[in-house]
Amino acid sequence: MTRAFIEHPIKMYIRRDLGITVEQFGKLAGIPQSTLATWIKRERRVEKLPIDFYSALATVRQQKIEVVYGELLKWQQRYDRYKQERLAAEEGRRIYRKYRGRKMESQLLEPARRLRKAIDQLNVQAFIQVMIEIYSTVEIPMPTWIVKSFNKSELKEIGQAFYNELLMKG
């Protein structure tokens, strides 16, 4: 199921871990707020930020730079997962609407049962096979991100987000 709203790792770290606003951090660190806003808007990845940024965070947080970097990477991972779950949920709604538009909702019941089983068993292959069947029934291509993004650790959250929207909310 989709978790609580998560924003860009820069915002999350500054707001949650430092307990200040992005604007306040910019003033403390001497980094223009416009620079921070651009990084956030363009969704610049934590790994691509300049060392001066990590250094400023470490100074404000009074921690070693490697600790700050590790915490930022954890926020990046959470943010990536959150975005994948949202994408999967939207895809589940889209597929349900396709079935509903063709008055074929009842044809989702059996594949959905097998989808649920694959998610519960963390069986990536079975999950993908059912997804192929679901997409082929309404004759639309399955997005490549679905196949690329699923491994056992992600299947539970992302598969569940798709499943929930497919069956429960549509």
Note the pLDDT tens digit of each residue in 53-65.
999 999 999 999 9
User: What Å distances lie between residue 133 and 2, 53, 73, 125, CA to CA?
Assistant: 24, 47, 36, 13
Looking at residue 169, what is its pLDDT? 56
Write out the DSSP string of 59-70: HHHTS-HHHHHH
Which two structure tokens, joined as six digits, stand for 126? 């079975």
Sign of torsion over alpha carbons 150, 119, 157, 91: positive
pLDDT for position 150: 66
Per-residue pLDDT, averaged over 104-129, amounts to: 93
Sign of torsion, CA 77 121 151 108?
A: negative
Under 8 Å CB-to-CB from 161, ≥6 apart: which residues?
A: 1, 2, 85, 86, 88, 89, 92
Per-residue confidence (pLDDT) for residue 157, from 0 to 100: 84
Q: Tokens 């895809």 appear where?
A: 91
pLDDT of the residue at 158: 86
> What percent of the chain has a predicted confidence (pLDDT) above 90?
79
Q: How many other CB atoms sit within 10 Å of the CB of residue 146?
A: 20
Burial per residue of 120-135, b for 16 or more beta-carbon CB atoms within 10 angstroms, e otherwise: eebbbeebbebbeebb
pLDDT tens, residue by residue, 65-104: 999 999 999 999 999 989 989 999 999 999 999 999 999 9
Residue 152 has pLDDT above 80, yes or no: no
